[in-house]
Structure 1
Amino acid sequence: MADTTVKIDDTTRDRLKALADGAGMSMKDYLAQVAAEKEQERLQDTATAAFRRAISAPGVVDRFDTEFGGLPAAVKRENPQAA
């Protein structure tokens, strides 16, 4: 794949360079990772919206609970205090 140049201001370049350095990556690899993460976030947002639309349909949650027994009962712990 061919490389290209993107024009950004010095402040943004410095911020990206510091983030890449902090991650132990080249800026090229860091920006590729950020792009992949942003794509994944967009896909997750789309899937979440579709799921919310699906379960908001009347009766869907009730039919799910009938078919699969609903949510499990809360787990009771012998010692509910934090360690």
Structure 2
Amino acid sequence: MADTTVKIDDTTRDRLKALADDAGMSMKDYLAKVAAEKEQERLQGSATAAFRRAISAPGIMDRFDADFGGLPPVSKRETPRAA
């Protein structure tokens, strides 16, 4: 894959360089990692939205409970979390 140049201001370049250095990576590799992470976040957001739409359909949660016995009880020490 060919390299290219992206024009950014010095402050942003310095911040990205410091982050890459802290991660022990070249800036090229660091930016590729950040791009992949951001893409994954976007895909997760889409999947989460689709899941929420699916479980909001009338009767879906009742059917889930009937088929699988519902969700396990939450102990007093656990904090419930979204999927």
Report the counterpart of residue 57 of structure 1 in structure 2.
57
Deviations along 1:3-58, one digit per CA (max 9) or x if unpaired, are 00000000000000000000000000000000000000000000000000000011
Scaled by the length of structure 2, the TM-score of the pair is: 0.88
Unaligned runs of 5+ in 1: none
Moved over 4 A (4+): none
Report the counterpart of residue 40 of structure 1 in structure 2.
40
Unaligned runs of 5+ in 2: 78-83
Scaled by the length of structure 1, the TM-score of the pair is: 0.88
C-alpha RMSD over aligned residues: 1.2
Q: CA–CA distance in 1 between the matches of 2:34 and 2:74?
A: 38
- Structure index of larger Rg: 1
Give the match's secondary structure for 2:32. helix
Q: CA–CA distance in 2 between the matches of 1:29 and 1:45?
A: 24
Taking only the aligned residue pairs, the percentage that are identical comes to: 84
Match runs of 1:2-81 below 5 Å: 2-75=2-75
Q: CA–CA distance in 1 between the matches of 2:63 and 2:36?
A: 37
